[in-house]
Amino acid sequence: MLSSSVRSGLLYALCGFALLSLGDAIIKTIAGAWPGTAVAALRYSVGAIGLGVLLFSKQGRQGFAIPMPKVQLIRGFSIATATICFFSSIFMMPLAEATAIGFTSPMITAVLSAIILHERTNAATWLATIIAFGGVLLIMRPNVEELGWVALLPLASALSMAFVMIGNRKVAGAGTPLLMQFLVASVAAPVIITAAIAGHFSGIPALQVGVPDWTIVARCCCVALTASVGHWLIFMGTTHASAAEIAPMTYVQLLIALVLGILIFGDWPDITSLFGSGIIIASGLLLLRKSR
């Protein structure tokens, strides 16, 4: 039986990942209207400002102390990388498929937890990881043929999110959840803004940053709110359970992404993609069962 603390952590994480999936669907509606780097930059800039104001109103200047600054930099840079990669991927791939590939994050997190945090791991973790990547290969096969190596973006996002989860666990208890969220957003924002500026001057038409329509700004602000709350919930989850234990809760995203992809974007997954997604979910359930 799971302890009360672990159950609370799983519930926090479940709600957090659900909100992130809803935000992903909103972001996908901007595809073709504004670059993914610009969308990510605006989303995190709004999030950092909002969280900073809230933190100041609650704790004043003393609330901005930075515990474990090196880990905070890793958290912020990792979330910036994950966001840029994932936003760019859902602009070019069906939401459910990009989300399914992102489901490798729990397996990667479990492996990295053993290496970096020295948390217990076993043969089942390694088996789940191998099985999951088999599912990824099934999903990515047609996408690599169509998009090239750009189809690896959601996998890069999954790896970056694993480092975020590890960082969250490392700083758990070092500060308030609000401070932890502000720090990750305040580090991520300048990193993503730099990427957006570099993309604008790269000469690549798809990365040119023009003046956005007000609806784009509104959608980015909405995602800033839902994502900030979602990441806060995930962080709260890591304070109640280990990184490896809460990571499988991300699988709620597949159901939401699949339904929203069909209803909003008309993206009906093919049999191969569904089979690959099923393999990834099966590996995650195996990991969850062994982590109890």
How confident is the model over 65-109, as pLDDT tens digits? 888 889 899 999 999 999 999 888 888 888 878 887 877 777 788
User: What pLDDT was estimated at residue 84?
Assistant: 92
Q: 187 pLDDT exceeds 90?
A: yes
CB 93 within 8 A of CB 247: no
Q: Where are the alpha helices (DSSP H) in the chain?
A: 4-28, 36-59, 69-92, 95-102, 105-112, 123-147, 153-171, 177-200, 214-238, 243-246, 252-265, 271-291
CA 184, CA 79: separation in Å to the nearest integer? 7
Whole-number average pLDDT of the chain: 82
Q: Which two tokens stand for residue 220?
A: 């980015």
Q: Which two tokens stand for residue 261?
A: 């992809």
Run of H or E residues at 113:
none
Banded pLDDT at 291 (limits 50, 70, 90) = low
CA 127, CA 290: separation in Å to the nearest integer? 11
For residue 271, the enclosing domain spans: 4-291
Give me the amino acid identity at 162. Answer: A
How many structural domains does the chain have? 1
pTM for this predicted structure: 0.77
Query: Where does residue 98 rank: exposed (0-12), middle (13-18), buried (19+ CB within 10 A)?
Result: buried
Q: Which two tokens stand for residue 171?
A: 């700083």
